[in-house]
């Protein structure tokens, strides 16, 4: 993964190319008057362990059937 800095005007001009770099794993730092103002990074997919934890929460929730047992005015 590479880190690249680019000023906001150039970023706007080369947006499609910059997004291609991000898709390929690079990190883009956008600057204005040489001051960093934003960072664009690729979104990381959840790790296997995170997905397993989410699946466990869903299984527990389904087992408890939380939503259907709530009073009608429970959520306002």
**Superfamily for domain range 3-40:** YefM-like domain (3.40.1620.10)
d(CA 49, CA 46): 8
pLDDT mean for each 10 residues of the chain (76 residues): 90 93 92 95 72 74 61 52
Tell me the CA distances in angstroms from 34 to 2, 15, 18, 31, one per residue in order: 19, 19, 18, 5
What is the per-residue pLDDT for 6? Answer: 94
pTM of the model as a whole: 0.56
Q: Residue 41: what pLDDT? A: 93
Res 58: pLDDT: 75
Provide the β-strand partners of residue 30: 6, 38
pLDDT at 43 (0 to 100) = 87
């Amino acid at each position: 993964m590479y880190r690249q800095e680019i000023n906001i005007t150039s970023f706007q001009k080369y947006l499609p190319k910059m997004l291609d770099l991000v898709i390929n794993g690079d990190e883009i730092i956008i600057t204005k008057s040489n001051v960093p103002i934003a960072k664009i990074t690729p979104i990381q997919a959840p790790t296997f362990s995170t997905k397993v934890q989410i699946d466990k929460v869903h299984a527990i929730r389904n087992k408890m059937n939380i939503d259907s047992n709530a009073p009608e005015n429970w959520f306002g």
